[in-house]
Amino acid sequence: MHIELKKICVCTDFSEPALRAFDYGLTFARNFGAELHLVHVIEDIIPTVPEPGISLLPTQEIMTGLRQGSTEAMNKLLKSRDVSGVTVKEVIREGVPFREVEVYAKDQQIDLIIVGTHGRTGLTHLLLGSVAERVVRSAPCPVLTVHSREREFVKE
């Protein structure tokens, strides 16, 4: 038996755990000669409006700002790492993060998803949920979760 990885998806929200996940993704992509798909999902803000039809700010303007900010953050992330020798596809989607990752992974036939996790517990976990946990449950392929406080096996 051997492992063959052709397409690796790294999910990012640009947090510290996501940056660590990106480092893992780059290392795996180099070692396996795989394509790296860097995916960020802008969460749809419509569900956060208190009541249907009530909007405090113009939704289109907010989404345009979020898209622009996401693009800038993606560019900054890619400039902060040595991505030479790795084919990186930058992907920004809108919707429910874990669902968008699931659909993208199926459509692109991703072999491995790497996602950072904050490791929240208790009330914080209950209130904020866990995108990483939901990705693990719904993914069509193996998922590697990366915690910012874990023992490293990727060495520089």
For the cut 60, the answer to whether the pLDDT of residue 144 exceeds it is yes
pLDDT band, very low/low/confident/very high, at 61 (cuts 50, 70, 90): confident
For residue 155, being part of any structural domain is answered with: no
- Name the DSSP letter for residue 44: P
Q: What's the confidence (pLDDT) of residue 60?
A: 79
Environment class of 83 (CB within 10 Å of its CB; exposed 0-12, middle 13-18, buried 19+)? middle
For residue 86, being part of any structural domain is answered with: yes
Q: What's the confidence (pLDDT) of residue 28?
A: 96
**What average pLDDT does the segment 35-61 reach?**
73
**Torsions phi, psi of 32, nearest 5?**
-105, 0
Q: What's the confidence (pLDDT) of residue 132?
A: 83
**Pick the residue with more confidence: 151 or 14?**
14
For residue 58, being part of any structural domain is answered with: no
Q: What's the confidence (pLDDT) of residue 124?
A: 42
**What average pLDDT does the segment 38-63 reach?**
71
For residue 114, being part of any structural domain is answered with: yes
For residue 115, being part of any structural domain is answered with: yes
CA distances from 99 to 9, 34, 93, 155 (A): 14, 23, 11, 32
- Counting residues of the chain whose pLDDT is more than 70, the rounded percentage is 78
Q: Which of 87, 89, 48 is nearest to 66 (CA)?
A: 48
For the cut 60, the answer to whether the pLDDT of residue 49 exceeds it is no
Entry pTM: 0.83
**Considering just the CA atoms, what is the radius of gyration of the chain in Å?**
16
Structural domain count of the chain: 1
The Cα–Cα gap between 143 and 117 comes to 12
For residue 124, being part of any structural domain is answered with: yes
Provide the token pair at 83. 């991505």
Name residue, tokens 């929200």.
13
For residue 18, being part of any structural domain is answered with: yes
For residue 103, being part of any structural domain is answered with: yes
Q: Which of 126, 120, 155, 129 is nearest to 17 (CA)?
A: 120
**What average pLDDT does the segment 7-19 reach?**
93
The Cα–Cα gap between 69 and 26 comes to 23
Which domain does 32 fall in, by range? 7-49+64-147
pLDDT band, very low/low/confident/very high, at 122 (cuts 50, 70, 90): very low
**CATH label of the domain that carries residue 35:** 3.40.50.620
Q: What's the confidence (pLDDT) of residue 126?
A: 40
